[in-house]
Chains A and B, each alone.
Chain A
Amino acid sequence: MAEYLFELLTEEIPAWMHTSFTTPVEAALQTLVKELGSGVVKVDTTPRRLILFLRDLPLREQDRELEVKGPPKKTAYGADGNPTPALQGFLKKQGATADDVIESADEYVRIRRKITGREISEILREKIPALIESVRWPKMMRVGSGEYSYIRPVHSVVSVFEETHLPVSIFGIASGTTTVGHRTLAPRRFEVKSYLDYKQQLELAHVVIDSHLRETVMVQRALVLSKEVGGAPTEDASIVAQWKFLTEYPGIVRAEFRRDYLVLPEEVLITVMRVHQKQLPIRDRDGRLTNSFLAVLDNAGDPDGHAAYGNSFVTNARFADAQFFYETDRRRKLEERLEQLTHLQFQEKLGNYLEKTKRIERIAAAICKAAGIDTADVAAAARLCKTDLVTEMVKEFTDLQGRVGGIYAREEGLPDNVWQAIYDHYQPVSIDDALPRNAAGAVVSLADRVDTLAGFFSIGAKPTGSKDPFGLRRAAQGIVQILLNRDRREVKIGVDTLIDIGLEAYGRPPADNARLRTDILAFLEERVRTILEASAWQFAYDEVAAAMEAGWASSLTDLVDRVQAVKGMRDESNFLSILDSAKRIANITAGHDSTVVDASRLEHDTERRLAKLADVVTGQIGEMIKERHYRGALESFAAMAPELETFFKDVMVNVDDEKVRANRMSLLRKVGGAVLKIADVTKIVVDRRDYRP
């Protein structure tokens, strides 16, 4: 079993980009070792290093047999039974002989050849450079005179196979067997013999190559330093995740900012620290912010207190600015800022933010009316929700939009419902993000988003491919997330109604809106599918598809109930009966729509029994559907299966008498149509083996 070590030494790679290297490279190497038959892959990074380690590799690729399809048999051999030029050409191209031709069942000539496995080292030399060079970093630079583009210039390459140099070249830079230690603590170059040697020597040279280990060390250190001042670090997974990529030698330092700044809103303090400095505030036992915080160190310690001093210095400087903005902003009420919104453009063709605000107000009022929600708080929040965009604080800390407005509204003494709605109305920003904490916030968020969607679609700016410069996918996703919710913040409105309200806000004649409505619905339909299939819902695509076929746009919560019923049924033993019945009915009655059965034309006993049963059962099903008891409705439908079975055995549907035929089809339609309001179950894909007793 062989091992291979590769290191690319570069310059500091942005912390947030490491996974755009590790994820695809690890996947590609996993595929490679699978093809090779054995091997363990480890991909790791430090700010300056991309490291690949492969072990338990076979020394040689396995020999294998390869089957290739050749020309049709009838053109392959002449009348004399000898190979024609067509076959000869094929064999030549494949490097095969007539002896390689095998018996084949179809009309083509096939050959099977033994391919001798190559040396692993040869494969690595071919694959590794291509893999490394082809990484698509989110933002690349041209190096030198444009010799290559990569995340940063490449300095050196280590390539060691079985303790021997395996020469490769990356962007024309020849590999070797030496690397360097920490940039300032141990910058010398040294020879490495193997992975273990590499790892150990680097550790002595103040580089920890295992990113998980770096994270663990930093988290531990953060806990200890926080405990020393009787507190705990603020939980913040995204900052901690970045820490490990900001340092080769993991360290944390604790520093303090001036206590006076604690009067600033907590959100402002946290944003300054985390976004601008990647620092983590320390909270006391009661969860209150203290004036101590934690910062990254690319060093084990801070022997002279320089780092504590520097971090305090810069944080105080930033807070001094924040305080200036805070005090300036509070001299004017949010209400007085509305006029300023005319100077802030939303979009060239869609007007300024005051115009957007007016639309949000109208849309929010219409949503309230349609969903039966009290309008007072919503109206107040909708009116002020964008005013913080012209505050100094948001101009400086754009991430705080919404929240700053909420905080200022709170300080102005506006009701909880109102300031919270302003504060939360950009939520949810992602699939895992929390929804606005009250119904007013949910309504304002919906109104803002549907205004954006309706506006951009109406000027023909819908997203294409992976490009979505105006964040329309996120806007749509947020709408879906909010409408799926059914706690006390539920907004009972259909996507269809919401879109109509959004389009009306632009004051266009409804006739113009038909195409836009279809487009926006289709756009949202995609988001509904994605969210129900992914995230916490975990529905299968066919369950979602089946239920959506029966409608989705008038209520997403109802859609979820129906998907849930289908999902619940599909594991039951009688699900095959439902499926088979539905499929058979759909096949036989294709093109027939009527469900009106003429009792006088029923000839057969079986037929009459089914008709009677259908009358009772479809009635029951209809009642259950009305009460949204979808599971029960599906079960009742399943109960008709045996009778239906008998019907198909005893009764011929496709008889010559047209009227009898049509009547029978109507009967089947009536039975089959009973559950169509829940889902089109024929869309469910099953593996029949799962249902055998």
Chain B
Amino acid sequence: MSRVTFQSLILKLQNFWAERGCIIETPLDLEVGAGTMHPATFLRVLGPEPWNVGYVQPSRRPADGRYGDNPFRLGKHYQFQVILKPSPLEVQELYLDSLRALGLDLTRHDIRFEEDNWESPTLGAWGVGWQILLDGMEITQFTYFQQAGGIDLAPISAEITYGLERLTMFLAKQSSVFDIDWTPGVPYGAVRKQEEYEFSKYYFEEASVDLHWKLFDSYEGEARRCLEAKLVLPAYDWTLKCSHAFNTLDARGAVSVTERVGVIKRVRDLAVRCAEGYLEARKELGFPLLKGQGQRAEGRGER
């Protein structure tokens, strides 16, 4: 087995899921806290259309930043996100096969599925599932989505989220995330450490609180305007920008406990309306992906 690098892991996971019929999407070009917020997950899990997708998503969590000092924590990390809709009965086996594809002999490791349910108050979404422990270490979140944007889902989607840095660290037996190889000869730290430092400094110390409150209000206003105009996808983009503005303010310690609940509710209200609007729009389109080779037709000329 060749040396495990960050990049080889991504390529292997992409290939594995591509071979199993998934679209390989690209990361969302906006700041999000998790792959779940990508429209390829949050919106596509709604309604009856089948959808199988895999993609990398850089996930920004301003409050998790540690100035590049902590060997395990990052303000931005990368997830590999898979959605299988409807969730096939053998989904756990498929997942284990993906680990085998990474070169793991599972008979010589300890794999366990321990309860870990997921809930996102900002997205009005929740699901039940597990954290998957490889030799005691959490490497994947597995969720059976039950609700998104306050809407009961049918069919149920399975979401598999790999923590790419963690998994690489573990497979390459490195004790600091900054020491893993992005590709041989190029350490992760050399690529990302400056970014971790600067963004930690920015989010914790420099981000303008006034500006971000204003941005939050403006983004929210624009999202509402888009919703009125029945432009749900732009509306959802602005909703995500609201969410990131909130995360920035939160990291800056600018959101009091009392305000917090209200702000989360404002984001959730947008997310719920986006979800409803999206479902409505798909219905008007006649749920294009339901027809025959649905997935291939996707992406071009469906409108």
Contacts and interface: CB of A to CB of B under 8 A. Distances in A.
16 contacts: A15-B115, A141-B156, A142-B152, A145-B48, A155-B89, A184-B109, A187-B93, A277-B136, A307-B110, A307-B135, A307-B136, A310-B136, A313-B169, A314-B136, A317-B71, A321-B72
A298 interface: yes
Contact of A313 (B73, B109, B117, B137): B137
Interface centre among A302, A303, A314, by most B CB within 10 Å? Answer: A314
A546 interface: no
Interface in B64-115: 66, 70-73, 86-87, 89, 92-93, 96, 106-115
Contacts of B156: 141-146
B128 A344 contact: no
Contacts of B2: none
Query: Shortest 8 CB-CB distances between A and B: which pairs?
Result: A310-B135, A14-B115, A311-B136, A12-B113, A317-B72, A184-B106, A314-B137, A145-B154
B114 A307 contact: no
A345 B255 CA distance: 13
Contacts of B257: 343-345
A373 interface: no
Given A12-B130, A311-B136, A316-B175, 11 more contacts: A141-B127, A142-B156, A145-B48, A145-B86, A185-B107, A277-B136, A310-B137, A313-B175, A314-B138, A317-B71, A320-B70
B291 interface: no
A144 B115 contact: no
A142 B146 contact: yes
Nearest to A140: B128
Contacts of A251: 110
Nearest to B93: A187
B9 to A, nearest CB: 17
A673 interface: no
A370 B107 CA distance: 66
Interface in B128-157: 128, 130, 134-138, 144, 146, 152-156
User: By CB atoms of chain B within 10 A, which of A152, A155, A324 has the most?
Assistant: A152
B71 to A, nearest CB: 7
A351 to B, nearest CB: 11
B293 interface: no
B127 to A, nearest CB: 8
B164 to A, nearest CB: 16
Contact of B73 (A139, A278, A321, A343): A321
A309 B115 contact: no
- With most chain A CB atoms within 10 A of its CB, the pick from B71, B86, B136 is B136
B202 interface: no
A246 interface: yes
Contact of B128 (A141, A155, A345): A141
Contacts of A302: 110
A192 interface: no
B173 interface: yes
B6 to A, nearest CB: 17
Nearest to A276: B138
A interface, size bucket: 35 or more
Contact of B72 (A183, A184, A320): A320
Specify which of B135, B153, B156 lies most central, judged by the most chain A CB atoms within 10 Å of its CB: B135
A321 B127 CA distance: 27
B108 A309 contact: no
Interface string A613-652: 0000000000000000000000000000000000000000
Contact of A311 (B108, B135, B258): B135
A324 B71 CA distance: 12
B112 A246 contact: yes
A11 B132 CA distance: 13
Contacts of B287: none
Contact of A307 (B89, B109, B175): B109
B170 interface: yes
A582 interface: no
B71 A310 contact: no
Nearest to A317: B72
A146 B147 CA distance: 12
A508 interface: no
B260 to A, nearest CB: 9
A667 B114 CA distance: 72
Nearest to B69: A324
Interface string A247-258: 100010101000
A255 B137 CA distance: 13
A606 interface: no
Contacts of B175: 313, 316
Q: By CB atoms of chain A within 10 A, which of B137, B146, B154 has the most?
A: B137
A306 B109 CA distance: 6
A39 interface: no
A144 B114 CA distance: 21
Contacts of A184: 96, 106-107, 109, 111
Contacts of A144: 86, 155-156
Nearest to A343: B256
B156 to A, nearest CB: 6
A153 interface: yes
A306 B110 contact: yes
Contacts of B92: 11, 183
Given A11-B113, A310-B110, A141 B155 contact: no
A247 B114 CA distance: 10
Nearest to B139: A310
A155 B89 CA distance: 7
A324 B70 contact: yes
Interface in B248-273: 256-258
Interface string A309-343: 11101101100110010000000000000000001
Interface in A41-79: 47
Given A184-B111, A343-B257, A311 B137 contact: yes
A278 B144 CA distance: 24
Nearest to B147: A142
For B48, B86, B110, the residue with the greatest tally of chain A CB atoms inside 10 Å of its CB is B110
A222 interface: no
Contact of A297 (B110, B134, B154): B110
B66 to A, nearest CB: 7
